[in-house]
Amino acid sequence: MGTGANMAHRYGKRYLYKGDVLGNINYDAPDVPIQLANEAQGIPWLVRWVEKGVTLILLCGCANYDTCHRKVIYDNVKAVLGDRLLEYALGQRVMTPNGAGVIDASVPLHVQVMRNRYAVMLDVWNPTRYYSLDQLEPYNSSQPTLLDTHEHLHEYAARR
């Protein structure tokens, strides 16, 4: 990943260090519970950006997401936003800009959530495989899909 200075150089204005409010002050004491530096300031800051539709990616060097402060942060944001923070399940049917598909069960869900994008196996082949939350919506069986449209075109052509 690199240091904050390297990240800032590489990503410019897209990189924003927030360890002063979202960092784990107990990062060097694995036997002590995770404590965010300033949860009262950091969580509302994140929530405001998420509510504006901004995609945020939390970065950390921890290898295990389940014991990382990123999970604590995500759980706190989820507690504030509730159902407004969409989550999808492995194998769940979704609509994408390229048609209907299912969330790929071969990619662990926590990896997809952590990357802030989902791997989708589409009904009709398309080179695009990964979609951010703003590109997905729960599948609605009343929506026509590309397969439905394709089948209707064949039915129409057969009748002519």
d(CA 118, CA 106): 11
Looking at residue 145, what is its pLDDT? 52
Residue 36, SS3?
A: strand
The total number of residues shown for the chain amounts to: 160
What pTM value is reported for the model? Answer: 0.67
- Identify the residue with better confidence: 55 or 19: 19
- pLDDT per position as a tens digit, 84-140: 888 899 999 999 999 999 999 999 988 888 777 899 999 999 999 999 888 998 888
Looking at residue 22, what is its pLDDT? 96
Looking at residue 158, what is its pLDDT? 59
- Tokens found for residue 80: 């504030």
d(CA 96, CA 90): 15
> What residue ranges do the domains of the chain occupy?
4-84, 93-159
